[in-house]
Every structure is written in structure tokens, then in C-alpha cells.
Amino acid sequence: MNEAQKDPMLEIFVSEAKEIVSSLERIFIELKEGNRNFDVAVVEALRFFHTLKGSSAMMGFEDISKVCHRVEDIFVCMRDEGKLPTSLDTFILEMLKLIDFLTIQINRIENSQQILPAENIEEVLEKVEMSLAENDKVQAESEKRYHIRLLFEEGWEMENLRAFLIVQNLKQYVKVLEYLPSDVESNMASSEKIKKEGFFISIETLLKKEDVVKLFESFAWVRDVRIEEVSEKASLTKEISSWQNAIHSTNKLINVNIEKVDKLIDLIGEVVITFSMIVQHQRIKTDENGSFKNLTLQMSKLIRELQEVAMSMRMLPLSSTFQRLKRTIIEMSAKLQKPVDVHITGEETELDKVLIEHLTDPLIHIVRNAVDHGIEDKEERLKKGKGATGNVYISAKNSGSEVVISIEDDGRGLNKEKILQRALERGLITSTDDIEEDEILELIFQPGFSTKEEATEYSGRGVGLDIVKNSVQKIGGRIFVESEKDRGTRFTVRIPLTLAIIDGMLIDVDGNVFVVPLSSIVETFKLEKQQIVLENEIPFVYRRGICFSVIDLNKMFYGKDMLAKGRPFYLGILVTNGEKNGVLLVDNMISQQQIVIKTLPAILKQVRGISGCTLLGSGNIAFILDIDALLER
């Protein structure tokens, strides 16, 4: 359906509902992880369910609002009557089920399908209600603890000393347990922190909430007081993280239709191309007094900045994806009775939204494999001298123009003999003799490798790693696997940052134009014939005492030998991927310009050494070289 025909109200509802559901998911996962205070979580979840109830009722989705209403009752019961679920873990798993149900409903609404009747989730709701009924929390009639966040008015400066003043003052009335940053009296730098995140205090008192708030009224620079009652052992440090999330979510954001952003980026791409045509225009090139040149220089700076802003608009942190992975692991771990710890690093790494969407399912698949097949049962682990609890390490980091995501488990590792055997059975290889050690693991990415024999709830649905590989390749990424027996398995996915614009050098190889990413060029030089060593037809370049292998693009792509031209000299471009180096022989260097990367049509076979293509100002197509792949040869 066309974007314009969608009801804007509905669109807003769906996008808000999605946000709510994912926030809810985060709350319960953090609760499960022990990173969130239960009482705080209840209040927050309650607020989200309440909002969703209201908006879905307004949009006429009775079945959603009914469910939310029921849940709201449960949460109100927990908040006001202090009731607790009998088992927190089961409670969380049931809530996650409920969140899944809501997600399905919202997706159905988005795709204009009938939503499911509320009866489908009845069982889960009843379970949760029952678990509450049996348990009554004994309310402690003693001093209460509060966690407080103060936000200061801007422009007062010396925030750290002001904070200290508050603490001193507060001590007359209540017992101050802890405050953060804790070094306000001595460290001037904490002032910045307070400005940004606020000042956190933990107190113990018999006073009521309202009375505590009043204590802060005498301080003119306090702009906002947020106060939560907490249970005995809640630590302030842990709680701050959940509050910080809340602060971030109140950042000033607007929802923009991604198609509009795409259009904007496309347009900027066109501007880049057109501008490069202007720069190369004869009239400007031959401009005598240089005034045009100066203008174009300024203009190119502006355009570059514009591009960066536009690109960054589509960038999102990987945190929500990682959260889903974590959730998958938590659920599986509970169902399969395998304790698993999840370690996540680099979740703030940003990636293009579209790429993230394509990446989530493959990553979930890998994580499932890790928990289901990789990590051993408790007994087996103990026998092997490992800890009873398995570990899954999920990490992301930027590396040049790529994002590297790795998923590693400390399980049993891949069994090479079994892989070979299965590959033989499936007819993927004909004999085990001529297969290199490092090619064995690659076999698991072959279509048809997956088997349904070991079907469990989580894998073996006939969807194999070949699909995972395909989806990664679809977005221009690559996937690698390493494994060591009994030590574990690591999957590494490398994906280009974005469908981006790069700086490139246009080169001419026998009349064909290629783009070399500027980031991989070390230097360019004129290459005399005698600097090229030809041993057994294999050319080397000798330069400053080092021998570099020559990458003959003409031979590689067109089957014509570059050196056969017998020119007295060539131009050499020394390229590197950080580890390996090589020299490209080219006829000519054309220009240096910004390149809008376009992917090659998916129905073409992949060409090793070419990562994509771009349109030149002339309308012609030039290939972008994949330096990594070229150096791997």
C-alpha cells in the first residue's frame, strides 16, 4: 500500500505502541538481570500499560485496551497493596509472553490485518493474577527509603558545591545514605555530570514523600525533583541506570517517516554527484583568478556536513537489537534449564536503521544456536571443568568503515568430523580428502546443510545458517566462524556502517573506471618498469626495500595482462587493509571525489574484489574496489 494512503493517526499509534512495547520489554529484561529495582519497574510498567490502554481504546482496538486494563489492575495491586508475584522469574517470563502478544497485535494493525481476540492471552493473564493472589507482602512499618534525583536550573554553575549544600542541609531532617556523584565537595568536574544527568541522593526517613519534596523547595536552583520509594536493599548506583534511561527517553525527538529520510539522503547523493560534475567542469578547472575554486571548496565542505547530518539521522544504536538477543537467551535458558550469562559490550555502537532491521533475525538465529547446540548441559560443563553457567558474549564495535558484531559462546565448539560427515551425507562434498582445515567450518553456511533431525523448539526448523549468511550478504556484510573444541564458537559479522557515501579515488585501468576507497590508500607513486620484478609471471613491486605483491585488476577482471602493454611506467597505488598491503597498477588517476555507494543488483553473482558500484557524473557506472578481498587473494 502506498505511504500516502495510510491513516496518519494510525501510523502515530503504531509507532508509539511499538516504542511502548519495546520499553516494556527492556524493563522486564533489566528486572530479570537484577539491573532494575522492582518497585521502580512496577511503576514504570504501569505507566506504559496505562498509556497503551488509553491510546488503543481511542483507536478502537478494544482487544488491546482490554488486555492492558487487566495488566494495569495487576500492577496497581502490586504498587498500592504491596503484593508480589510468587516467583519473579515466572512472572517475568509470563510478562514477556504478554509483550509478544502485544507486539503481534501491533504488527497486525500495521499490516492492516485483523487483530487477535484478547482471549488468546487469557491463560497468561490468569496465571499472573493467580500468582499475585497467593502472596501478600508484609508491609514494613519502619523508616522508608527514597531515591531522589534532582535536576538543577541551568546557568547557575558550581553545581557540585550547590549539591553539597543540599546534602548538608538535608542531614538535619533525614538520614542521608548515599549521594552521587559522591565527590561533589572536592571534584569540580562532577559539576558537569550533575548538569547532564542530575544529582542523585538516597535517604532514609519517616517522612512522607510529599514532605521530602518540600525540603527541596528552599533551594532556588532545583528545577525538578524526582522521588521514588525503594525497598530495603536497592542500591542507588543500580537504580541510576534505569533513571538515566528515563532521562534519555525524554530527549527531544520527533518521529520522521523513514521514507522521507531516504528520499533526503538520495537527494543529497544526487547533489554530491552533480556537484562533482560542477567541480570537474572545464570552466571551473580553468578559472584564472580562483574565485570559483574557493566557492566550490566552501560548497564542498557544506555538502559534506549536510551529508553527515543526513546519514546520522538513520543511525541507531544496536542496543535494542542486543536487548532482543539477551531476551532470547534468557527465555531459552529458562526453558532448556541451562543457566546462561549474557555479556554485552558496545551496544551503543550505531548502525543504519535499515541494516539493523535486516540484521536482527540472523543474529537471533546465531544466538539460538549458541544456547541450544553450543552450550552444554550443566553436568557436562562441570565434567569438563567449566563453570556450571554458560556464557554468551555479544559485542559490537566500529572498525574503519565497518561495524563488527561478534557472538561468542564458551560451549562445546563445532565438531569438525560431524560437519564433514554431514556434508558428505548431504552431497555438499564428494570426499573428505581435498578439503582444507579452514574450509570445513565454512561448510555450515552451505545451503542444505541444516537438518531437521535435531529439531528442538528453538532450532532445526529447516532454516539453516545459509539463510543467515544470505541475509548478512544482502546488506553487504560478511560472516565468519571460528571454533575450538570445548572452548567455544565465535561468529563474527562485519557490516558496512551504512549505505553510505565514501571518499574515493577514481582510477583508470585500461579504459575501465574503478573507485578505490580513499581510506585504504597509503600512497601513490610513479612506477618505472625496472621496479617491477616478474618471477614466474608473478609480478612484485620493489619499493624502499620492501617487496609488495601487485594486484593486476585488468587481469583479474578482464583477463588482460596489464604489464603486457609494455609502457615505460605505470602509476602504482599502495593500498592496505591495516594488515596486508598490495600495489594496484593503474593507467591513470582521474580524480578524487565523494562516491555514493550503490550495491550491485542481487541477482548478479558476487564478484570478488568488487564491493559495489557508483554512478559517475557522466552517468556511467564505476565499480568500487573491495580492498580487503583483493588483498586476501
Partner 1 sequence: MQEELLSSKVDEFEEAMKDMYLIFKVDDQFYGIEIKYVIEIIGLLPITYVPNQEEYVKGIINLRGKIIPVIDARMRLLKPQKEYNERTCVIVTSIDDFLAGIIVDHVSEVAVINKDQISPLPQTYEKIDERFFRGVANLNERLVLVLDCETFVKPDRINL
Q: Which residue has the cell 534532582?
A: 150
Q: Minimum distance between the CB of residue 263 and partner 1, rounded to whole angstroms?
A: 13
Choose between 28 and 623: whose C-beta lies nearer to partner 1: 623
Q: Minimum distance between the CB of residue 619 and partner 1, rounded to whole angstroms?
A: 6
Choose between 112 and 432: whose C-beta lies nearer to partner 1: 112
Q: Minimum distance between the CB of residue 93 and partner 1, rounded to whole angstroms?
A: 36
Q: What distances in angstroms separate CA 2 from CA 6, 115, 243, 498, 553, one per listed residue?
A: 7, 21, 40, 26, 44
What distance in Å separates the CA atoms of residue 355 and residue 394, rounded to the nearest whole number? 18
What distance in Å separates the CA atoms of residue 152 and residue 196, rounded to the nearest whole number? 9
Q: Minimum distance between the CB of residue 598 and partner 1, rounded to whole angstroms?
A: 5
What distance in Å separates the CA atoms of residue 332 and residue 336, rounded to the nearest whole number? 6
E-assigned strand segments in 36-173: 144-152
Q: What distances in angstroms separate CA 257 from CA 52, 202, 254, 310, 314, one per listed residue?
A: 21, 42, 10, 14, 11
Cβ 548 vs Cβ 538: under 8 Å: no
Choose between 394 and 551: whose C-beta lies nearer to partner 1: 551
Alpha helix stretches (DSSP H) within 507-562: 553-558
Cβ 374 vs Cβ 412: under 8 Å: yes
Choose between 283 and 605: whose C-beta lies nearer to partner 1: 605
Q: Minimum distance between the CB of residue 100 and partner 1, rounded to whole angstroms?
A: 26
Q: Minimum distance between the CB of residue 290 and partner 1, rounded to whole angstroms?
A: 33
Q: Minimum distance between the CB of residue 10 and partner 1, rounded to whole angstroms?
A: 10
Q: Minimum distance between the CB of residue 621 and partner 1, rounded to whole angstroms?
A: 4
Choose between 231 and 473: whose C-beta lies nearer to partner 1: 473
Number of H helices, E strands in the chain: 20, 22
Beta carbons within 8 Å of 514's beta carbon, 6+ residues apart:
506, 507, 553, 622, 623, 624, 625
The percent of the chain in helix, strand and coil, each rounded to the nearest 5, is 45, 25, 30
CA angle 528/534/538 to nearest 5° reads: 125
Q: Minimum distance between the CB of residue 605 and partner 1, rounded to whole angstroms?
A: 5
Choose between 2 and 291: whose C-beta lies nearer to partner 1: 2
Q: Minimum distance between the CB of residue 601 and partner 1, rounded to whole angstroms?
A: 5
Choose between 290 and 601: whose C-beta lies nearer to partner 1: 601
Choose between 385 and 427: whose C-beta lies nearer to partner 1: 427
Give residue 562's identity as a one-letter amino acid code.
M
396 forms beta bridges with: 405
What distance in Å separates the CA atoms of residue 100 and residue 123, rounded to the nearest whole number? 14
Choose between 470 and 576: whose C-beta lies nearer to partner 1: 470
Cβ 30 vs Cβ 141: under 8 Å: no
Q: Which residues bind partner 1 (CB under 8 A)?
A: 1, 5, 112, 270, 470, 473-474, 556-558, 598-608, 610, 613, 615, 619-621, 623
What distance in Å separates the CA atoms of residue 315 and residue 560, rounded to the nearest whole number? 42
Q: Minimum distance between the CB of residue 558 and partner 1, rounded to whole angstroms?
A: 7
Choose between 524 and 611: whose C-beta lies nearer to partner 1: 611
Give residue 80's identity as a one-letter amino acid code.
D
Q: Minimum distance between the CB of residue 608 and partner 1, rounded to whole angstroms?
A: 7
Choose between 59 and 613: whose C-beta lies nearer to partner 1: 613
Cβ 229 vs Cβ 146: under 8 Å: yes
What distance in Å separates the CA atoms of residue 86 and residue 128, rounded to the nearest whole number? 9
Choose between 511 and 566: whose C-beta lies nearer to partner 1: 511
Q: Minimum distance between the CB of residue 112 and partner 1, rounded to whole angstroms?
A: 5
Choose between 411 and 496: whose C-beta lies nearer to partner 1: 496
Choose between 213 and 467: whose C-beta lies nearer to partner 1: 467
Beta carbons within 8 Å of 300's beta carbon, 6+ residues apart:
275, 279
Length of the chain: 633
Beta carbons within 8 Å of 381's beta carbon, 6+ residues apart:
375, 387, 388, 390
Choose between 390 and 609: whose C-beta lies nearer to partner 1: 609
Query: What are phi and psi for residue 291, nearest 5 degrees?
Result: -70, -40
Q: Minimum distance between the CB of residue 592 and partner 1, rounded to whole angstroms?
A: 21
All cell numbers assigned to 597? 555507494
Q: Minimum distance between the CB of residue 4 and partner 1, rounded to whole angstroms?
A: 12
Choose between 13 and 75: whose C-beta lies nearer to partner 1: 13
DSSP 553-622: HHHHHHS--SGGG--SEEEEEEEE-SS-EEEEEESEEEEEEEEE-BPPPTTSPP-TTEEEEEE-TTS-EE
Q: Minimum distance between the CB of residue 529 and partner 1, rounded to whole angstroms?
A: 27
Q: What distances in angstroms separate CA 370 from CA 272, 281, 342, 497, one per listed residue?
A: 44, 56, 11, 26
Q: Give the CA dihedral 595, 597, 600, 602, nearest 10 degrees.
A: -170
